Chains A and B, each alone.
Chain A
């Protein structure tokens, strides 16, 4: 019987197509990811097991490890109202030009007494060198800022106000307490704190019964 000769095929596969796919995906991911904005103020947040994602259109109160407090308004729909509101409430007499400058700032972190002068400077002060919003119990200017924030959201569902606190690990509790007091004076008792995601520890009650979190 004649044997059927099976032709030996090469094991080499053409990798070009696979290479194309890999780099196509790569370029897609690079282009599709939003670049993280450079951190003007360095904050190391604590971690928690919470899985809710922090939204960016929030009113963010930042607390640095030196106890400085900044306000950033990520919600562009209300930014104008909030800043015009504070100008009116505290009669800061900011010119339209200065207001426009203030609205452009990502971080608001000057006491009212220095706000006007700092906006007149030709080169804006970097956020890290600002004095921070005073939050002492005697002179808590954050109360006025938050009052202006809650004014801007008046007449809307309060859940639209996405109030976030982003604090540094090493900040003192007393600074955080001052921020909470500023919220409480404006009758805001619900807010969120920004944390790093962390896995649920194995063997804990939450790990055994994830529904308990709800």
Chain B
């Protein structure tokens, strides 16, 4: 183990017939190393900018019993958030037979919001968002985000508490559709 053959490399004298080994260049091709370096740089640059959390501003309505906002029935759409990312919606007042209580989900709701926005004068337009107790936090944020995406101006949508009648209706619909 410890013995090394130093006869060929160490001595200057070379016996006859010993071939001179050709001198190899010490230059190494650095191209792969450069590739690797830049790959890592791009990786770090992308990951650092992507993970930046953003903040969404929420402005809650100030409860003011003397100054209740009046909205037009015909221009109002109420969005109810239920379990399993379901959205129920109706126009105007729930007791009105023309209110068209329907169910939807986050895929289709954008088109419904946009249609409502187009068919209503923008001054009167109002979306009322009500979330059921068992709706998820994600849905509550997503629907507000949807308002931003559909460019509904602030003040034309509001988050309000669910009333008993609506809670009952959601419960009935969920039971009928087997949503737990």
Contact = CB atoms under 8 A, between A and B. Distances in A.
B53 A194 contact: yes
A51 B142 CA distance: 15
A15 B31 contact: yes
Contacts of A33: 44, 48
A174 B133 contact: yes
Nearest to A67: B137
B151 A29 contact: no
Interface string A17-31: 011001101100110
Contacts of B62: 189
Contacts of B144: 48
B19 interface: no
B interface, size bucket: 35 or more
A46 B138 contact: yes
A195 B133 contact: no
A105 interface: no
A205 B55 contact: no
Interface in B23-77: 29-31, 33-34, 37-38, 40-41, 44-45, 48, 50-63
Interface in A134-193: 164, 167-177, 180, 183-184, 189-193
Contacts of B60: 180, 183-184, 189-191
B150 A29 contact: no
Contact of A196 (B53, B135, B151): B53
B114 A15 contact: no
Contact of B132 (A47, A173, A197, A205): A173
Contacts of B120: none
A156 to B, nearest CB: 20
Given A48-B54, A63-B137, A22 B148 contact: no
A54 B60 CA distance: 19
Nearest to A23: B37
A53 interface: yes
A177 B58 CA distance: 13
Contacts of B52: 53, 197
A77 interface: no
A48 B56 contact: yes
A83 to B, nearest CB: 24
A51 B44 contact: no
A206 interface: yes
A196 B54 contact: yes
Contact of A46 (B33, B57, B137): B137
B58 A191 contact: yes
A96 interface: no
A45 interface: yes
A171 B148 contact: no
A26 B44 contact: yes
A195 B34 contact: no
B140 interface: yes
Q: Which of A45, A54, A55, A193 has the most CB of B within 10 A?
A: A193
Interface of A: 15-16, 18-19, 22-23, 25-26, 29-30, 33, 36, 45-55, 63, 164, 167-177, 180, 183-184, 189-198, 200-201, 204-206, 209, 212-213
14 contacts: A15-B33, A22-B37, A46-B137, A48-B54, A48-B144, A53-B55, A167-B141, A170-B136, A172-B137, A173-B81, A189-B59, A196-B53, A196-B54, A212-B153
